[in-house]
Amino acid sequence: MAYAIVVLIDCAVMIRNVIQVSLRQSGTPDELLGRVSGAHRLVTYGAIPLGAMLGGAVASAGGLRAAMVLASAIFGALAIFATCTITRARIAAIAADTTTHS
């Protein structure tokens, strides 16, 4: 059962990556694409050690269960935030903006 959950999560991550990169590339002018992609990598990969330190501190103070609950709450909040901010209207606006710049 755990293996099936891991496979499902990995498939969801792959889909999210494709959508995320496609949206970023379609909404960014060609001359800024390298800078935007580099800044995105800096922020996302830079957050990994910070998350590890936070998780370790929470696990040391409150136990592993507390760290997992906190991580789940953060992921849930981010999923809700993304769902509320990435709308079809914003995607259509990005698509319309890129057709006028091309």
Cα(55)–Cα(72) distance, integer angstroms: 11
**Range of weakest confidence among 34-38, 47-51, 92-96:** 92-96
Which tens digit of pLDDT belongs to each residue from 52-92? Answer: 999 999 999 999 999 999 999 998 998 899 888 878 887 78
Indicate the pLDDT class of residue 20, thresholds 50, 70 and 90.
confident
Helical packing angle, 88-101 and 2-27, nearest 10°: 40
Q: Is the pLDDT of residue 26 over 90?
A: no
* Residue extents of the structural domains in the chain: 2-27+47-101
